[in-house]
Amino acid sequence: MSSWRENITSLPSAVAQFVNESASTASTYLHSAHSGSGTSVSEESAPQHTDFKALPIPASLVKEQWRLIFTSDANIQDLQAAIAHCRDLVLLSDECSEERRWLVRHLVDLRYSLQELEEAQAISSDDVVLMNAIKSVVGHHFVPHYPSARNRLQAAAKRYYCDHCTGIIWRVVQAAYICSDCSYLVHQKCIDSVQRVCAHVLASERQFPVAEICPEIGLAAQRYKCAECSTLLNFKNSWIEPRLCDYRGLYYCPSCHWNDSFIVPARIVHNWDFTPRRVSRTGLQEIQLFVDKPLIRLEEENPKLFVFLEKLCTVKKLRQNLVHMRHYLAACKVAVEQKLVDQQLGRRRHLAQSNEFYSIGDLVQVESGVLADFLQGVFKVFDVHIRRCDMCLAKAYICEICSNNEVIFPFDDGCIKCDQCNSIYHRVCLTRKNMICPKCVRIQERRLQLDRMASKQADKEIDINANDASDEVQPANTT
């Protein structure tokens, strides 16, 4: 790695020029001649504070920046001092303020950089290792990016573009880094001027995908600037035309918004609309991070969907059954030993943990019908185990209304569960009893009885007290 990077610098100047030229022509492919100016703008504008830039240091902290911000050539002492100072500032800042958020992010970055440096020093003799170390910039954790050996041929055909300067990354001669969290891809030369805060940081701060459909605030409110890099936008020049991100509802410049199309979570939740919309780069990276996370309480957000969509009801019912089954499997030694739940569900364990939460990926699969089939398969496997396992059978239910010896389970079709006491009955039997759960009646009776006993006891005590009181009062009256 180090050797061929050296080679780049020692390349004949003609070749270097060619590379530079081709890089700039590549960038015009996206928007003409903006990449170069973009870099310089970012360097100049870094200290400036605007409302919509995610990265820059808050205005109130500008005077501290010389103690906080370092380039990659900082040494360990500098970083340690900066960490200490940053930590003090975090404690001084107001809770939930913009300053605190910036400081916390920055503190994490600083600590990462420190760790990198320390690790690098520990093995400082080996330059290659130093090159391989993770670089952290504005929340990204960059690792060197190589096309994998398997698809090297395809990779050669595929073009990679730098997320920062939008220029093409010439694999053979240019080193590139990729963020291990959000897949932000960047030239090695651009790495120190990266502006976009890692989508992973944003996603974890936001916790949920944006819930409103395209919450647009308008260009005026954005002061005609790109929400990410603050480039001035106008409609006259196509290379600085404003592009709307359907996910964030903000306008971006063409270098931050590549007209990528992707499904938008809010549109699925509210409209059951799976049409891909145009989203900004940061929006795209953020949605992709949310795709597999079970965060959406669909029924709470949009209860009507369950009325209109039969497939959603099927999935809900199946998941409810799996939740019941999981209780059995979690309490069964054999199933735990066989790792039955893990084996069947793996990373999608949330599907059997409750039937409330859906990930975006789940919803896409509900629409395509894949999820129902998948859950049906899991249901069958679990069912086979439970009906064959002695311990699971021992924990079945017996309908106390008809009291025959047939065992029933909460996930059986003809059975109904009392929401209060968790008992299971045949649906027919409970209907015969006017849907009044006999166990709940008993519990109620017992409680009444206890209350009556308690009140009797209290009455007695009051009587005794009253007697005592009258005893005391009487002599007073006689005197």
Partner 1 sequence: MASRKKSLLKVIILGDSSVGKTSLMNQYVNKRFSNQYKATIGADFCTKEVVVNDRVVTMQIWDTAGQERFQSLGVAFYRGADCCVLVYDVTAPNSFKNLDSWRDEFLIQASPRDPEHFPFVVLGNKVDLDNRQVSTRRAQQWCQSKNDIPYYETSAKEGINVEMAFQTIAKNALEQETEAELINDFPDQIRLNSENNRPGNADNCQC
For residue 204, give Cα distances in angstroms to 154, 199, 200.
33, 8, 6
87 binds partner 1 (CB under 8 A): no
Question: How far apart are CB 446 and partner 1 at their closest, in Å?
Answer: 6
> Percent helix, strand, coil in the chain (nearest 5)?
55, 10, 35
108 binds partner 1 (CB under 8 A): no
442 binds partner 1 (CB under 8 A): yes
Going residue by residue from 288 to 327, which x/- string records binding to partner 1, judged by CB under 8 A?
------------------------------------x--x
How far, in Å, CA of 183 to CA of 473, rounded? 86
Report the alpha-carbon angle 169-175-178, nearest 5.
80
Binding partner 1 (rule: CB under 8 A), the pick from 128, 232, 421, 466 is 421
How far, in Å, CA of 220 to CA of 223, rounded? 5
Six-digit token string for 146: 């190589």
How far, in Å, CA of 387 to CA of 325, rounded? 11
433 binds partner 1 (CB under 8 A): no
331 binds partner 1 (CB under 8 A): yes
Of 349, 344, 351, the closest CA to residue 372 belongs to 351
CB environment 421-430: b (16+ within 10 A), e (fewer) = eebbbbeebb
Going residue by residue from 362 to 401, which x/- string records binding to partner 1, judged by CB under 8 A?
-----------------------------x-xxxxxx-x-
Binding partner 1 (rule: CB under 8 A), the pick from 258, 358, 409, 425 is 409
Report whether 352 contacts 285 (CB < 8 A).
no
Tell me whether residue 159 or residue 327 sits nearer to partner 1 (CB atom). 327
Phi, psi of 261 (to 5 degrees): -110, 135
Tell me whether residue 135 or residue 385 sits nearer to partner 1 (CB atom). 385
Residue 149 one-letter amino acid = A
How far, in Å, CA of 252 to CA of 244, rounded? 6
Q: Applying CB under 8 A, what is the total number of residues that bind partner 1? A: 29
Tell me whether residue 103 or residue 329 sits nearer to partner 1 (CB atom). 329
Taking CB under 8 A as the binding criterion, the range among 126-134, 280-288, 354-362, 418-426 that sits at the site for partner 1 is 418-426
Tell me whether residue 327 or residue 380 sits nearer to partner 1 (CB atom). 327
Q: DSSP class of residue 264?
A: -
Question: How far apart are CB 410 and partner 1 at their closest, in Å?
Answer: 7
Report the alpha-carbon angle 53-54-58, nearest 5.
80
Tell me whether residue 23 or residue 352 sits nearer to partner 1 (CB atom). 352
Question: How far apart are CB 328 and partner 1 at their closest, in Å?
Answer: 7
Question: How far apart are CB 340 and partner 1 at their closest, in Å?
Answer: 15
Q: CB under 8 Å to 252, separation ≥6 — which residues?
A: 226, 227, 228, 242, 243, 244, 245, 280, 281
403 binds partner 1 (CB under 8 A): yes
Question: How far apart are CB 330 and partner 1 at their closest, in Å?
Answer: 8
Binding partner 1 (rule: CB under 8 A), the pick from 422, 444, 465, 474 is 422
Of 60, 53, 59, 80, the closest CA to residue 68 belongs to 80
Question: How far apart are CB 334 and partner 1 at their closest, in Å?
Answer: 12
How far, in Å, CA of 348 to CA of 239, rounded? 43
Tell me whether residue 362 or residue 412 sits nearer to partner 1 (CB atom). 412
Binding partner 1 (rule: CB under 8 A), the pick from 77, 125, 148, 405 is 405
476 binds partner 1 (CB under 8 A): no
Report whether 43 contacts 250 (CB < 8 A).
no
- Interactions with partner 1, residue window 444-463 (CB under 8 A): 446, 450
Tell me whether residue 48 or residue 420 sits nearer to partner 1 (CB atom). 420
Report residue 402 CA to chain centroid gap. 48
Q: Strands 357-358 and 296-297, how do they pair?
A: antiparallel
Residues that bind partner 1 (CB under 8 A): 324, 327-328, 330-333, 391, 393-398, 400, 403, 405, 407-410, 421-422, 424, 439, 442-443, 446, 450
